[in-house]
Chain A
């Protein structure tokens, strides 16, 4: 129903005016429902380019028309109040949402000129290129070695044993775990401390030699020292990979990321240079959130 029609209806009897008031307010909510994103959505060298992504859990829309780029060799931080859809969006990037029954993704997520949601894309190699680290450390209940070697093995990344060993050692070194575990590679990965486990999970995901690493609150279960190590690690990893990180800690976002995206109730409210977001937010909601007035 358009505005002109509404004004026409306006002239009629009082009873129908009530009804239209309802309709009007409905339009208003719809209008408020999808918000324009403020800030530079696009970057010059994108690794992944998302356009108009919507995610539905059944009838419920969890992500609304989000467009954003993940740049080459950059860390993109995603912040926002709980339940705003950060995880949901992150999981779109390597199609982990496929595993959830009733979850539907629309829109375009392009990587290397191909829409990753296209039918002919095989998710398995995709997830090797865009690997994921989860909020809770989830090493496999196998040895440390097996944890890291599993990925390269199933993807055929190593031609032989020595190559596999090289990959495992390198991944552990890059994850900053090598010195702590080099004498006990045969021990179960679940026997490590929480922080070590999380670094093991990071090693596991870089062992498949991905191009993008998705991290969903990787430090939420860790102490400050482990957190600092992982932040350092993220900074080093940026050299070779693009990283998307979801975090609830504004300080962390400020420390590790180059760009920051602020989500709110399924909308991408604002995205831009991290320094700018934290010093001069352009959207009222962003400002409320980062100044702690909301969230």
Chain B
């Protein structure tokens, strides 16, 4: 370092006065240094604090959604009403009016409630889904007909919020969703031990619903899964093929440069633009069904391709050239070298890149909004042509709902989404650690 030498050696020949000046400035400079360090620590602290606040607020808001207030009803399964023929025909059992049974039971528990409005308020304590639960129970076990069974049914979301302490009773009645008489009934139920927080299985097994207590993420999760499957099935082979071509076979020319510039540009294009593209090309031009995981997968494929290509190229680059030479030297064709030696060695790196791309795709909302995966869909999608939504879009939808109970569910869905992302990234890290080779 020739430039350093004279300067370093210069200290010795520094005139005495100047040297003292430097020394005198030292404390000031040390203090500045310390301050600078402090700023750095504060910055990191702030960054981490944001992270903690983000996670804490989501988890604190969301974990309660994994439990749901249930009401115990002792329902008499009157054979005359649900199975008039008495032959336990499943079709007849399916069509029976279970709602009426539940209402009867509620009326029996609160005999002094009268008047249409009050009765409706009373029925409102129990979720609309209760009758379906009852029906499923009966269908699963027709022997129950004629018996009196204890049934835990989900409470209405307002009751749930009340029991979780999210409703302020001091607010004037007119501003409350739960009226005073309902509060009294709830208190009575609670006193009788008929209210209980139970594990919210519905949240994990149901599709979307207008009723918060019935809304689940299963539909969105299946939608996400189908979408990701399409994405994976397309983007992995396409990405690897493109990377292999560019890294192993492409001659250096304008066309190759053009492709590379395009790939790098696409990596920086905002994701919503891919949604626009999907809308214009896949839906409007090719006439593929709107809201379908197929189209979502296609769009996300285009979005994640640059990621996968760039990561795969990095993985291919890390395979030492000596291996290619060795194989070429005994007469393997470039294609054989690629298939037998290079790609297997680069595969872990390619998979890592693919998983990261998939994680990116899983968290993506904007492009899916453009292709109509934002519709309210209560059914669980059965295939890639069915209308579906995806987890992040479900979060987006729920975040818009005014009910307090949806805030909780949104946060819970976010927890689930983040858990999936964490798992995927962890797999990517493990894969990299396990298979990373040092040449």
Do A and B contact each other directly (Cβ–Cβ < 8 Å)? yes
Binding site for B on A (CB under 8 A): 94, 96, 99, 101, 124-129, 131-134, 136, 138-141, 150-151, 154-155, 201, 204-205, 207-208, 214
Report which of B252, B328, B332, B345 forms a contact with A96, defined as CB distance below 8 A. Answer: B328
Contact with A along B119-137 (1 / 0, CB 8 A): 0000000000000000000
Q: How far is the CA of A201 from the CA of B251 in the complex (A)?
A: 30
B326 in the interface, Cβ–Cβ < 8 Å?
yes
The answer on a CB contact under 8 Å between B330 and A134 is no
Report which of A99, A128, A141 forms a contact with B331, defined as CB distance below 8 A. Answer: A128
Q: How far is the CA of A96 from the CA of B326 in the complex (A)?
A: 11
Given A101-B252, A124-B333, A150-B340: A140 and B323 interface contact (C-beta under 8 Å):
yes
Contact with A along B316-346 (1 / 0, CB 8 A): 0000101111111111111010001100010
Report which of B330, B341, B345 forms a contact with A131, defined as CB distance below 8 A. Answer: B330
Chain B residues bordering chain A, tally (CB within 8 A):
21
Binding site for A on B (CB under 8 A): 251-252, 320, 322-334, 336, 340-341, 345, 437
The answer on a CB contact under 8 Å between A134 and B329 is yes
The answer on a CB contact under 8 Å between B329 and A154 is no
Report how many A-B pairs have Cβ atoms within 8 Å. Answer: 69
Q: How far is the CA of A63 from the CA of B328 in the complex (A)?
A: 22
Report which of A131, A139, A207 forms a contact with B329, defined as CB distance below 8 A. Answer: A131
Identify the interface centre among A99, A129, A139: most chain B CB within 10 Å of its CB. A99
Report which of B322, B334, B340 forms a contact with A134, defined as CB distance below 8 A. Answer: B322
B334 contact set on A, CB distance < 8 A: 99
The answer on a CB contact under 8 Å between A150 and B323 is no
B332 contact set on A, CB distance < 8 A: 124, 127, 150-151, 154
Residue of B nearest to A102 (CB): B252
The answer on a CB contact under 8 Å between A127 and B322 is no
A134 contact set on B, CB distance < 8 A: 322, 325-326, 329
The answer on a CB contact under 8 Å between A141 and B329 is no
Q: How far is the CA of A129 from the CA of B324 in the complex (A)?
A: 18
A136 contact set on B, CB distance < 8 A: 322
Q: How far is the CA of A186 from the CA of B434 in the complex (A)?
A: 21
The answer on a CB contact under 8 Å between A208 and B331 is yes
A150 contact set on B, CB distance < 8 A: 327, 330, 332, 340
Q: How far is the CA of A71 from the CA of B237 in the complex (A)?
A: 48
Report which of A127, A141, A205 forms a contact with B323, defined as CB distance below 8 A. Answer: A141
**Nearest chain A CB to B249 CB, angstrom units:** 11
Report which of A99, A101, A127 forms a contact with B330, defined as CB distance below 8 A. Answer: A127
Residue of B nearest to A95 (CB): B328
Can you list 10 residue pairs at the A/B interface with Cβ under 8 Å? A99-B328, A124-B332, A138-B325, A140-B326, A140-B341, A151-B330, A154-B332, A155-B331, A207-B330, A208-B331
**Nearest chain B CB to A149 CB, angstrom units:** 11
A101 contact set on B, CB distance < 8 A: 251-252
Given A134-B322, A138-B322: A127 and B336 interface contact (C-beta under 8 Å):
no
Q: How far is the CA of A154 from the CA of B326 in the complex (A)?
A: 14
A129 contact set on B, CB distance < 8 A: 331
